[in-house]
Copies of this chain bind each other. A is one copy, B any other.
Amino acid sequence: MMHKTELTVGQNVTGQALTVPVYQFTGNQPDAPTLYIQSSVHGAEVQGNLVCHYLLMAFQKLADEGALLGNITIVPYANPIGMNAKSVDYTSGRFDPVTGTNWNRQYHDFNGDYATLATAYKALSPEAIKASFCETLRTSLAEKIARPEGLTTGQGMVMRLQQMAIEADLVLDLHTGPRSARHLYAAAYAEDSARALHIDDIIIMPNGFDGALDEACFVPWWSLSLALADEGITFDHGIEAFTVELGSQEQIDSDDAAEHCEGILNWLMLKGVVAADCQNPTDRAPNNGPKYGVPLEDYITLYAPVGGLAEYLVAPGQTFQKGDCLARILKAENIGTDQAFHAVIAPADGRLILHFDSASLYQGAELCKFTKIA
């Protein structure tokens, strides 16, 4: 059965509690992996809420059928400040309007002494290691939240989300790009598993913390497993955490959401969170097309070389060749002449993942991002 509660993550000027809805399901197999999904930590990236709606519908059906194995927590609408921050038509919910801090760079960094921990854990069973380290993470986070000087607005919000996320084996943080193809970020060790989500483009991340939820979830476990490997112990923690970029911001689309749900359920079947035969295979998109996975260092940003108005010539999801014109920028100072456009040329073969969500660019705006392909 679906259980809904409201979690308070802050308080506004007029005294209202800032709350996020928390939907929980109890699986029927206590040992099955557990799942945490959240959406819209960036306020303009709303498609994930629609995906959550369809997932909630699906999980209720699965629960009715006895096919829900692991415990599940879903937190859509995870950023009540960001989602309500309108600026003219748009939603300026990418960063705290007071501090400028990206909402998705404020998670607690458990920056532990992994070597010492590995030594201490050496003699323990994998289950005991997992339980002990999870308690260590939990305590570290709780202490940060309770520190006497208080937390920033953003920390107060996202660290309470993090408290739920660190309890799960599997974590999805649903985002979107600006004008964007579907893609996701996965830790190098989890790339193969991420393929089950049926998203063509994968950015493969090294071990390191830059403040985002996926990193906050997988970096401690990966780091611990590396330290244990130095002690000669193979530790399979089973933790996977992906930032999934569902497409473009500022829009919702039910057909697109249905495809994302299908991919997520496929992954959950493989991981044993839902029963493996719970979906009619004929309903599933085959996703047999080409797969693209590139290391983070081959995920390249091009910054606007001049100020002006961009006409984007390659769409997100398209493959291009070195020398192709990705966009041309109309230069105000040259209009009415044949020097009006500045061409932005692809410096390598690649796939366009996303571009800026407006024609209007200052010099240095993040024009587009692409993955280099061999």
Contact = CB atoms under 8 A, between A and B. Distances in A.
Interface of A: 2, 4, 10-16, 18-19, 21, 23, 43-44, 46, 49-50, 52-53, 56-57, 60, 76-77, 80-81, 83-84, 86-92, 94-102, 148-156, 178, 250-254, 300-311, 330-336, 340, 347, 356-366
20 contacts: A11-B362, A13-B307, A13-B308, A14-B307, A15-B308, A15-B334, A46-B359, A46-B360, A53-B330, A86-B360, A87-B90, A87-B92, A88-B94, A88-B95, A89-B358, A91-B358, A149-B300, A149-B302, A150-B305, A250-B357
B347 A148 contact: yes
Contacts of A335: 21, 49, 52-53, 56, 76
B44 A252 contact: no
Nearest to A306: B11
Interface centre among A89, A149, A156 (most CB of B within 10 A): A89
A252 B364 contact: no
Given A21-B332, A49-B309, A53-B336, A301 B149 contact: yes
B151 A303 contact: yes
A100 B90 contact: no
A260 to B, nearest CB: 15
A140 B156 CA distance: 39
Contacts of A251: 358-359
Contact of A60 (B86, B336, B357): B336
